[in-house]
């Protein structure tokens, strides 16, 4: 590769990284803004109907009485999703007995590939209580919209299906009544996440 080619490649990578950081910042800013209101009613989250890793239809009502730690991603994600799910699992374990109040939840943004069977095998890799939720594209889109989660298909010729998923990487903490409590930005460590959760227990 010529010197000019190397410079162009480095510049392209830098632009892509900066664009990703910018999008993530916009998403976090929007969530924080919409999650703060005077009425006391949560603007992040809401009713949903999805399918769990056992093929059972579930709604938000099935999680009432428990705190929910929610992450949106997809099982074919090469690094970001596994990292965040491991952080979630470690944070829950760091809370000791109090962690039993927390229901970790992984919601796919790639329902075309992430069937209940695939989700079942995937979530078992991270935590015994991690629930994986999928559904129709319409159900997933409605749920992501309620949490203000950005995602879209992106071309990826290295994938058998020729696509991957771009998505925001945010962990949400929801209260026992389904109210939005807190978000954890990318890069939050397990100890920091555990401390943030503990504030509400």
Model confidence over 57-89: pLDDT tens digits? 999 999 999 999 999 999 999 899 999 999 999
Round to whole Å and give the CA distance between 142 and 14: 33
The number of domains in the chain is 1
For the chain, give the mean pLDDT: 84
Q: Would you place residue 158 in the very low, low, confident or very high pLDDT band (cuts 50, 70, 90)?
A: confident
The DSSP secondary-structure symbol of 37 reads: -
| pLDDT at 155 (0 to 100) | 84
- Is residue 105 a contact partner of residue 71, using CB atoms and an 8 Å limit? yes
CATH code for the domain of 159 = 3.40.30.10
Domain enclosing residue 84, as ranges: 3-198
Distance CA 183, CA 68 (A): 11
């Amino acid at each position: 590769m010529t010197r000019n080619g190397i410079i162009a490649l480095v510049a392209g990578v830098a632009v892509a990284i900066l664009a990703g950081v910018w999008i993530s910042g916009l998403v976090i800013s929007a969530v924080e803004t919409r999650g703060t209101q005077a009425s006391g009613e949560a603007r992040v989250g809401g009713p949903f109907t999805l399918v769990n890793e056992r093929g059972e239809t579930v709604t938000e009502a099935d999680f009432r009485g428990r705190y929910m730690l929610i992450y949106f991603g997809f099982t074919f994600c090469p690094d970001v999703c596994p990292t965040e799910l491991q952080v979630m699992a470690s944070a829950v374990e760091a809370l000791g007995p109090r962690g039993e109040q927390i229901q970790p939840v992984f919601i796919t943004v790639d329902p075309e590939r992430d069937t209940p069977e695939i989700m079942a095998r995937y979530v078992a890799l991270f935590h015994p209580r991690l629930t994986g939720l999928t559904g129709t594209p319409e159900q997933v889109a409605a749920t992501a919209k309620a949490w203000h989660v950005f995602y879209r298909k992106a071309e990826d010729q290295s994938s058998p299906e020729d696509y991957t998923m771009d998505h925001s990487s945010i962990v949400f903490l929801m209260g026992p009544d389904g109210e939005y409590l807190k978000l954890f930005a990318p890069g939050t460590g397990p100890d920091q996440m555990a401390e943030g959760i503990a504030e509400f227990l």
